[in-house]
Amino acid sequence: MAGTNNLHPLKLDELKGRPPSEVAALLEADLERGLSQEEAERRLRLFGPNAVPEKEESVWRRLLKRFWGPIPWMIEVAALLSALVRKWEDFAIITVLLFVNAGVDFWQESKAISALKVLQKRLERKARVLRGGEWREVDVRDLVPGDVIRLRMGDLVPADAILIDDTYLQVDQSALTGESLPVNKKAGDPLFSGSVVKQGEGRALVVATGPNTYFGRTVSLVARAEREERSHFQQAVIQIGDALIVMTLALVVIILIVGLFRNESWIELLRFALVLTVASIPVALPAVLTVTMALGALELAKRQTIVRKLAAIEELAGVDVLAADKTGTLTQNRMTIERIRPQPPFEAADVIFYAVLASREENRDPIEEPIFAEARKLSLEQRLAGCKTLEFVPFDPVRKRTEARVECGGRKYWVSKGAPQVILELCADSLDDASAINEELERLAENGFRVLAVAMSEAGGKPRFVGLIPLYDPPRPDSAQVIAEARKLGLDVKMITGDHVAIARYIARVLGIGDNILDVRELREAGVKEWRVLAEVLTRDLYSAFRPDADEAEVKRFTRRVVEDLLKIFEEQHLGTVHRHESEIVRLVEEADGFAQVFPEDKYFIVEKLQKGGHYVAMTGDGVNDAPALKKADCGIAVAGATDAARAAADLVLLAPGLRVIVGAVELARQIFERMKSYAIYRIAETVRVVLFMWAAITFFNFYPITALMIIILALLNDIPILTIAYDNARVARNPVRWNMREVLTVSGWLGVAGLLSSFLLFYLAVAVWQLPHDLIQTLFFVKLVVAGHGTIYNTRTYDRWFWTRPYPSGILFWSTMSTAVLGTLIGVYGWFFGNVMTPMGWGWALVIWVYAFAWFLFNDFVKVTVYRYLERRGVVEPS
């Protein structure tokens, strides 16, 4: 197709009432063959990609932000005060601290941004496009005006388009237009980019892409800044950071007041206070959080799991119930046809013939693919060639069947295929006895077969039952083993399926899930039975009380009395019954091994009841109607091949089928949680240890253990290696992990107290026993705080076990901590970078400090393990 340069995107509001053929002419498009690949590429160069340009913050702006804010301000003021008192060495080191902090933070943010871009790339959507007469899948961003696309239930409309086919299509466009209910569409009606196809399927003509769409124009007018949702864990750690800031500032204010009473230089005091505040505040906290989560998300991506929200990693670590779809997760989603059961006078070939007429091959539905394969095996191509589809109604979870009106050789037929009970009900008038069919269905269900039924009618006659197509979806080879592994991790795997209870029980037995499979319909009905009984009794009494001759006043008095009785019964009896009944339903859901005959809306019900039982629930889903349950779940998981709507609602998106992907993601999420928890305990312990000692020494002994410059170097040497905790090896907890503030505060508090005791013991030895000079004592304490602080990292990385237990530290953590500890020692031994500010202490004292720090490191580990054993006995934590 030779195009012109006069083409331009069209606006949907200008196309009202125009037939698709007229709009196609405006776009120089062919509704039957679509654009040629060459023309599509030309239009892509002309109109640009089908994506709304994101306003990305420039590199320079992101870098300059590192010098603006409370923490940078304090460092900058400290540098300015150093310059005012002409302490140029201090000024230089403080300036270096400022730039190093900014550089490290900028580097880590850049890594996180790059990681998230990689994840977004993996989640790019595909569209089914007619190009050169053939249907193919292309990236959504490669769509151009004039493209003919196919939309199905669950798809997000990829660009502004108009519906071509006069078919049934229901679209949810509430996010764009504010309409609360789905809208029915007919040929020529507009389809807004970003709306969701709720039911039906059909072809559409793209009229505008990217920033020219209704959604794109809206975004360009309103600048939106979406913030990543913080998880419970992140909120807790940030609250800890805020508490540490408050504690630090309070102690620093006391130091300032005491110093002023002692007539010390206010400039020196302020400079020292600023430096101590900067060093004690958890400056690396945001970077550690972001990097740990982002690196974890990248690692999950390598395991075929894409994280849509970083906060989902923490939620996944705490999940204790996994409600998993049978099809595609526990089974292979690869249907095979067993022996076909035709209903005389029909034959097996007739069953497949009419089933094909009620299907669409281009949809590549896993249930329909074996039907088309069987049709080829039976050589039905010639018989099907003479048939033309006049109308097609796709499958939806409520009707549970497809249907079509077709014309074959001049004769018109109605055909349908779907759930056997639905088809049997349609054919009730033409079937003399359905008992034999129902018995056969029971036998097939007990042996794990999923069954499709087929019906047809001719020339408006009664629907006739054609036969049964037994399908078997074999379990994945590794499902039983993975379920056993999941249970070792404390995960309760519950199977979710729309199949008959007998099929569900068969699959559950094969996989070792259990036999307690509930029919979710009966479970939901149980909740309203008592309401119905009560309503029937009261209604009967009410109607029987009225007499034809009753006057108006009598009726009013009686009505008032009945209402009072109703309220009394409701308050005194039924509320308690409902409460008891709700608790019973929650118990039944908790004890169930799986649920059968589940509709998408039932998934929400299951998640809700499990959450009322105090569980963290992960729910899998793939359809548009699964979206509410995926949002309701603590961790919604869109399985491989899920619809766009399910992916948009989910927290995690799987790129590979099977349960192993989910279990692997849970294991990694728990490792990430372990790293974050280790960091939280370390940060609290270190702040308590350093700030309390500095405050006590200065306030009560009028002794500055280290100088402001030493504090700056100490902060640098501590913050750099702690960032590598994001790369550390971490164990996989045996049970779901959740934030336990009492545990973290107790362990970190005792470690902080132990560190405080070690500092005061060294202080006593240096002052009273060894009687060392003041400046040498400061050097000793500088090295001691560096070496002992690095040791605390190894105490907290195995926060509930001895430090020598597996998993061992990663290479990057070990060498970063070792190199900075050695560098700190060399600075103290030779007085590097300080000129005459720090007194060199020599190798003898360095050896003393290392031995002293190591002895207290062992003692700290003993304290940590003892505290944990105490918490285990008190039931605060589970045994490790």
Distances (CA, A) of 344 to 437, 798, 866: 12, 71, 78
Q: How far apart are CA 247 and CA 691, in angstroms?
A: 9
Strand order in the sheet with 190-191: 134-139, 126-131, 148-151, 202-208, 160-163, 190-191
Bridge partner residues of 519 (DSSP) = 596
Among 325, 396, 499, 861, the one annotated catalytic: 325
Distances (CA, A) of 303 to 329, 482, 637: 15, 15, 14
Query: Which residues are CB-contacts of 189 (< 8 A; sequence separation ≥ 6)?
Result: 162, 163
Q: How far apart are CA 646 and CA 643, in angstroms?
A: 5
Closest among 484, 461, 364, 365 to 413, alpha carbons compared: 461
Pairing outcome for strands 594-596 and 517-519: parallel
DSSP 434: -
Instruction: Give the count of beta carbons closer than 10 Å to the beta carbon of residue 54.
Output: 8
Distances (CA, A) of 755 to 277, 278, 428, 777: 19, 20, 82, 17
Burial (CB count <10 Å: 0-12, 13-18, 19+), residue 457: middle
Closest among 497, 400, 379, 414 to 452, alpha carbons compared: 400
Q: Are 550 and 542 in contact (CB under 8 A)?
A: no
**Per-residue burial over 218-251, b = 16 or more CB atoms within 10 Å of its CB, e = otherwise:** ebeeeeeeeeeebbebbebbeebbeebbebbeeb
Q: Are 314 and 669 in contact (CB under 8 A)?
A: yes
**What size, in residues, is the chain?**
880
Location of structure tokens 């006739």: 464
Closest among 274, 267, 465 to 354, alpha carbons compared: 465
Closest among 695, 852, 858, 698 to 785, alpha carbons compared: 852
- Kindly state the tokens that stand for 372: 């088309």
Q: Are 133 and 30 in contact (CB under 8 A)?
A: no
Active site residue 541: no
Location of structure tokens 């372990």: 674
Strand order in the sheet with 183-185: 183-185, 169-172, 196-200
CA angle 280/281/282 to nearest 5° reads 110
Taking CB atoms within 8 Å and a gap of at least 24, the contacts of 530-538 are 530/574, 530/577, 530/578, 530/581, 531/574, 534/569, 534/574, 538/562, 538/566, 538/569
Pairing outcome for strands 321-325 and 492-496: parallel
Q: How far apart are CA 874 and CA 684, in angstroms?
A: 23
Q: Find how far residue 509's CA is from the centre of its chain.
A: 30
Q: How far apart are CA 537 and CA 181, in angstroms?
A: 36
Closest among 54, 42, 51 to 5, alpha carbons compared: 42
Q: Find how far residue 613's CA is from the centre of its chain.
A: 21
Q: How far apart are CA 630 and CA 100, in angstroms?
A: 43
Task: State the catalytic residues.
Answer: 325
